[in-house]
Chains A and B, each alone.
Chain A
Amino acid sequence: MISRIEQDHSRFREIIRGKIRQNLRKYISRGDMVAPKGQGTVAIPMPQINIPRFVHGDNSGQGVGQGDGEPGDPVGGTGKDGQGGAGKAGEQEGGKALEVEVTLEELAQIMGEELGLPNIQPKGTHSLETRKDRYVGLRNTGPESLRNFKATYKRALRRQVAMGSYDPARPVIVPIREDRRYRSWRTDPRPQTNAVIIYMMDVSGSMGDEQKEIVRIESFWIDTWLRSQYKGLESRYIIHDATARVVEREVFFRTRESGGTMISSAYKLCAELIDAEFSPEQWNIYAFHFSDGDNWSVDDTATCIQLVKHQLLPKCNQFGYGQVESPYGSGQFIKDLRSAFAKNIALVTSEIKSKDDIMDSIREFLKGGR
């Protein structure tokens, strides 16, 4: 039987989860609220559910304390929510933020429900399969190297006690052939789907901090969702201005270069990366490119379209292009892409005007279930 408190507890969790659902947009558009916290969990600061009552407002930070000190000395703490559960001074509860830890999987599930995302169909049938041996039990035969000493000893002891040949005064146990136990194993086939996300970002002068923040939040959620769908997700980060290079995750979000923009450089590098490391037969490849849509020249845009058409799209499950609005960019690139690939469902474009559009953009990217 589930204890009563568990019922109340799960009720509370449901409400909290309901809260997450309703306010999910808010959490997502505020990046600082979603802090990955070791061990694959996320701490979401969650306001405690407070029942409204007629209570006194803040009495402008007054109170009584006890201890040494001269007038003017600072009083440690804020006089509120003390430990020991007994603070009488300032009993009013402030807007205490309670962090509810949700695992990333849970979060992805919640997001999936909220956005109505379909589960992703793994690409092809020839997904990579590995075998893994696991020791699961004991058996009577086997190589000596796998003999389980403890189990063997126990069998022998039991046999000797049963036969009456056990002498407590002289407890010598001699195992015979039948007593021996060996560890046995089972081979589990493990279907393994491998996925890689290649993030590309325009870091030319026109991409400001706010634009990068949007990219960071968006890529976090895409990452979270795809991770819930694949085991062993790899990610690669490419930044580009007029030239492109592969960088670490930290660098990806921090760098600010200045200079021109040649998107084709990134696409070229991406194609090379795929050819070198991730063969399309074995990998589910997702490429996302974020830019403010301001490309160097019409020629370069034509090169990009060629690259996407012949190199990237055939290899990727999906190619996503997110255009972040910036005060400098012309935003032309998305129009060019759209006109070139109007009918190709593997290419998804999305415009992100502000943080509030992130949710819609993610839905746009992931609704295909590819």
Chain B
Amino acid sequence: MTQSLYSPSGQLPPALRDLQDEIKSYADEFGLDTFPVVFETIDYRHMCEIAAYGGFPVRYPHWRFGMEYDHMLKSHTYGLSKIYELVINTNPCYAYLLEGNSFVDQKLVMAHVYGHCDFFKNNYFFSHTDRRMIDGMANNASRVRRYMDRQGVSNVETFVDTCLSVDNLIDPWLPFRRKESRRAPEPSAPEVDANGPEPGRLHNTRSYLEGYINPPELLAAQKAKKKQADEAQKRKNPPHPERDVLGFLMQYAPLEAWEADVLGIIREEAYYFLPQMQTKIMNEGWATYWHSRIMTTRALRDDELIDYADAASGVTAMGPGQLNPYKLGVELYRHIEDRWNTGRFGKEYDECTSLSQRAAWDKKLGLGRQKLYEVRRMHNDVTFLDEFFTEDFCREQKFFTYKENRRTGRLEIEGREFGKIKQQILQQLSNFGQPFIYVVDANYLNRSELLLGHRHEGVDLKMDYARDTLRNVERIWRRPVSILTVLDDKPKRIRFDGAEISMSDEPAAFRV
């Protein structure tokens, strides 16, 4: 079955194959650098299936894929939404076209796919992903199946459910740090300490009082205390708060071999999908930019214009009160291209206060395209927005912040203040919208309890979810688990001891 799915020959009708060659030639002409792309047309059921599996033909058995499938199939059947295309980050890059789409739709989709593929290949945040993940996923699937055969389906499924509860607790920077952490820890640190000021020694300018101000026995006691604290710190696990909670649990939780393996599988897949969450706006924006560019300057025929405009406007349509990543991304890229073409950047432009001068600013640099390629290589959503979401752009695109009116329960436009808008957007994007959770101590209270910490950034945790998640962490850790968090501006510690949830006040909020 999988064989036929991936045969790069066959399946694609000749007309579409010719179309692919055509689009590919445009992509090459514009300098897009892609993996080989394998297109395939499939019917909508199959499309929903693959979409439910996150783009892959085979995943481990789990009901949530069935749930996704159910939702997608239903919303497709009732015409609520439609999946036009699917493309996955592998080499070669597999992309699926919906059977029965009009020719111009397929054209648009192909151009879109080449945009995605270029992004997958060149964006730095995708550089660590496994490009043979189709095989990886299939291997994971067969391992999970084997465990199901041995341990029983519901045992394994329940454990998978438990693990999925923490699959967002990963460290986005870990893939880029791995090599360093393998090095032996710097041995110089303790020596520096030894040469530093003696602990507890008070400043003393009168040498004859030395014996009174800094009695030797007290100094010795202080020294011993510090040494002890250092030792404790050294023994402390993890030495510093650890964001890769999944990895930590995998390494230190008392799991059976199969459980550790399942946890590892879920962690591996979470890290694989991570860059796609980190670069949603950039990735979709980039693909949209390129389908628009390729279609409007090259591929579009006269009689296809209306259909194209219809489809393209659907992609970038803005719902009220929400950000469409396609729209935001593509507009930002266009803005950047325009700025670097006309030279509207740098100190000189920033310091120019004359509105008319700014409006007419054009140094005819023509650096736009070059800048775009640089941006798509180096940035992720957060840095992209942070760097290029300018006040001009914000005003042009008519952004606003909205807020719930407590009296009516309606959402109302709050204002158009640039600083606030930008802060709000960045907050939504930071850590791809997930809370920052750390492992603080694996031997909390010297009772081998697990202590987690939530770095509070202004938004509280969803409490009912947090309690249930805590239960699940306890099932993995098999000892009481606590989390430090902030609730209604009060530092709290929530603890689950295996029987009940308790909450207590804390002197201070958790900080890293």
- Give me the interface of A with B, judged by CB distance under 8 Å: 1, 3-5, 7-13, 15, 48-79, 82-92, 98
Our pick among A71, A89, A98 for the contact of B414 (Cβ within 8 Å) is A71
Is B369 located at the chain interface by the 8 A CB criterion?
no
- A5 partner residues in chain B, CB cutoff 8 A: 48-49, 52-53, 65-66, 69
Is B320 located at the chain interface by the 8 A CB criterion?
yes
Q: Which of A12, A59, A75, A87 has the most CB of B within 10 A?
A: A75
Q: Is the CB of A66 within 8 A of B398?
A: yes
Q: Which residues of B (323-337) have their CB < 8 Å from a CB of A?
A: 323-328
Contact with A along B128-169 (1 / 0, CB 8 A): 000000000000000000000000000001000100111111
Q: Is the interface of A mostly helix, strand, loop or mixed?
A: loop
- B318 partner residues in chain A, CB cutoff 8 A: 65-67
Known: A12-B63, A71-B415. A62 touches B424 (CB 8 A): yes
CA–CA, A71 to B415, complex, Å? 5
Is B70 located at the chain interface by the 8 A CB criterion?
yes
Q: Is the interface of B mostly helix, strand, loop or mixed?
A: mixed
Q: Is the CB of B325 within 8 A of A55?
A: no
CA–CA, A49 to B161, complex, Å? 11
- Minimal beta-carbon separation of B19 from chain A (angstroms): 25
- Minimal beta-carbon separation of B299 from chain A (angstroms): 24
Q: Which residues of B (400-455) have their CB < 8 Å from a CB of A?
A: 400-404, 410-416, 421, 424-425, 428-429, 433-435, 437, 454
Q: Is the CB of A87 within 8 A of B322?
A: yes
Q: Which residues of B (234-289) have their CB < 8 Å from a CB of A?
A: 280-281, 284
- B284 partner residues in chain A, CB cutoff 8 A: 86
- Minimal beta-carbon separation of B215 from chain A (angstroms): 50
- Minimal beta-carbon separation of B189 from chain A (angstroms): 33
Q: Which of B165, B414, B416, B467 has the most CB of A within 10 A?
A: B414
Q: Is the CB of B437 within 8 A of A87?
A: no
Interface size class of B (residues with CB under 8 A): 35 or more
Q: Can you add 19 more A-B contacts, CB < 8 Å, to A69-B413, A79-B322?
A: A8-B62, A11-B62, A11-B66, A52-B469, A52-B472, A53-B166, A53-B469, A54-B169, A56-B461, A64-B425, A66-B397, A67-B320, A73-B413, A87-B324, A88-B325, A88-B328, A88-B429, A88-B433, A90-B322
Known: A54-B465, A58-B462, A72-B412. A88 touches B280 (CB 8 A): yes
Count of CB-CB pairs between chains A and B under 8 Å: 230
Q: Is the CB of B413 within 8 A of A63?
A: no
Q: Which of A61, A64, A67, A72 has the most CB of B within 10 A?
A: A64
- Minimal beta-carbon separation of A15 from chain B (angstroms): 6
Known: A4-B58, A62-B403, A82-B319. A72 touches B413 (CB 8 A): yes
- Minimal beta-carbon separation of A349 from chain B (angstroms): 42
- B424 partner residues in chain A, CB cutoff 8 A: 62-64
CA–CA, A135 to B436, complex, Å? 69
- A83 partner residues in chain B, CB cutoff 8 A: 80-81, 319
Is B67 located at the chain interface by the 8 A CB criterion?
yes
CA–CA, A56 to B456, complex, Å? 10
- A53 partner residues in chain B, CB cutoff 8 A: 164-168, 465, 469
Our pick among A3, A56, A64 for the contact of B459 (Cβ within 8 Å) is A56
Our pick among A8, A15, A78 for the contact of B65 (Cβ within 8 Å) is A8
- A66 partner residues in chain B, CB cutoff 8 A: 318, 323-324, 327-328, 397-400
> Can you name the residue of chain A whose Cβ is closest to the Cβ of B471?
A52
- B435 partner residues in chain A, CB cutoff 8 A: 54-56
Our pick among B70, B157, B321 for the contact of A76 (Cβ within 8 Å) is B321
> Can you name the residue of chain A whose Cβ is closest to the Cβ of B429?
A88
> Can you name the residue of chain B whose Cβ is closest to the Cβ of A61?
B404
Our pick among A7, A64, A75, A91 for the contact of B412 (Cβ within 8 Å) is A75
- Minimal beta-carbon separation of B96 from chain A (angstroms): 14
